[in-house]
Amino acid sequence: MSLKQCEGSRAVAEAVALCRPEVICAYPISPQTHIVEALGEMVKSGELQPCEFINVESEFAAMSVAIGASAAGARAYTATASQGLLFMVEAVYNAAGLGLPIVMTVANRAIGAPINIWNDHSDSMSQRDCGWIQLFAETNQEALDLHIQAFRLGEELSLPVMVCMDGFILTHAYERVDMPTQEQVDAFLPPFVPRQVLDPDEPVSIGAMVGPEAFTEVRYLAHAKQMQALELIPQQAAEFRKIFARDSGGLVRPYRCEDAETIVVALGSVLGTIKDVVDEMRAEGHRIGVLGVVSFRPFPLAAVRDALQAARRVVVLEKSLAVGIGGIVSTDVRMALSGLPLPTRTVIAGLGGRAITKASLHKLLRQAQQDELEQLTFLDLDGKLIERHLLREKQMRRSGPLAENILRDVGVVAARIA
């Protein structure tokens, strides 16, 4: 292993290269581009071979090329974000349905309109039911580790795996990572032996139509495989620890949850900021902890229930919004807690790159400790802007484009730091 200070995208690219992918499909979309660019350089230089690097014409094609490559027995990888993930959705579902263990990085970014290049989890969350395994990284170290685990997990189950890492916040952050050696990765990740493969010597038909007589069974098996993943993910994390001597992956990660009255549930890089806040509040005597969910699909109902059931209240802080109801993660957390008298609050935070600051979290969690949080809270919501816009809509029919109006009300943003 070697310690290095590098960009998250670079770290992920090097980890992916250590997994010996045979086909990589690339289509540019921020904030994922640095990953495939770095992989492209490695293919060009011969550092990564044999590997085919395909520049495709769309994300839909990227996933489709990965589907063809994986069905032909090649280890296939691609990366995307935001609109790119949405553009490939039909193929995303198809890859899962066909049982092809493609690994894809999603550099989490908001979905427009209004167009927004910054981080939140709306993109991955939109695909929570597509049949892929979804793992969320807290740090760049974990992002690179999860990719190594993703290939093994996916190939063992014949399921595709999405490694979700916060766009910009992780992908563009320089931080310390411990880069494994090729020997370590080879010891952890065996060569890809597909369950089904397009082989002229043993022809099979893949992707046949299935009618009502068996479709339920096929879908059930997809679910059953994800349930198997619930068993496999902790096992693989333990094996990973043996070879790489660090904890990465797993289903959930509790932090200072023992004796905690309030437990915050969150995914991804915001866990770091929350941990800092938890430490500070603990120092003041607050009994508070945080539970990181690494595996969002499959959702570890039992592990989440175990980690939370002794608490007095749960705050789910999520970077996505199910418009019309509220939280997405919190719905799943509530299901994990069903039957327990444990109030669960939803906090929508960090949408479209809105910084989640320690100051805001302190205020929020103190309110939570006092049981003053509403069922659904939008962190740092600017109520005045909203009132002004609603008034505008009330006053005139042709009130104009929403985004432009709001921005005009906000004023100059270039002069702001955060």
Footprint on residues 157-186 left by other proteins (CB under 8 A) = 168-169, 172-176
Q: How far is CA 313 from CA 288, 302, 378, 383, in A?
A: 10, 17, 18, 26
Q: Which residue has the tokens 């418009």?
A: 323
Give, as ranges, the residues between 224 and 283 that touch other proteins (CB under 8 A). Answer: 269-273, 275-276
* Identity of the residue, 119 or 124, whose beta carbon is nearer to other proteins in the bound complex: 119
Site for other proteins contains 407 (CB under 8 A): no
* Identity of the residue, 210 or 224, whose beta carbon is nearer to other proteins in the bound complex: 210
β-pairing, 252-255 vs 376-378, is unpaired
CA distance 107 to 25: 15
**Residue 27 beta carbon to other proteins: minimum distance, rounded to whole angstroms:** 10
**Residue 328 beta carbon to other proteins: minimum distance, rounded to whole angstroms:** 21
Quick one: which of 269, 320, 278, 317 has its CA closest to 121?
A: 320
Spatial contact of 356 and 349, defined as CB atoms under 8 Å apart: yes
Site for other proteins contains 111 (CB under 8 A): no
Site for other proteins contains 66 (CB under 8 A): yes
Stretch that binds other proteins, among 198-206, 234-242, 306-314, 384-392 (CB under 8 A): 198-206
Site for other proteins contains 52 (CB under 8 A): yes
Site for other proteins contains 416 (CB under 8 A): yes
With 0-12 / 13-18 / 19 or more C-beta atoms within 10 angstroms meaning exposed / middle / buried, residue 375 is exposed
Stretch that binds other proteins, among 57-65, 123-131, 180-188, 397-405 (CB under 8 A): 57-65
Give, as ranges, the residues between 17 and 46 that touch other proteins (CB under 8 A). Answer: 22-23, 25, 31
Sorted by sequence, the CB contacts under 8 Å of residue 414 that are 6+ apart come out as none
Query: Cis ω on the peptide bond leading into residue 310 (within 30° of 0)?
Result: no
Give, as ranges, the residues between 342 and 381 that touch other proteins (CB under 8 A). Answer: 353, 355-358
Q: Binding-site residue total for other proteins (CB under 8 A)? A: 77
Query: Cis ω on the peptide bond leading into residue 50 (within 30° of 0)?
Result: yes
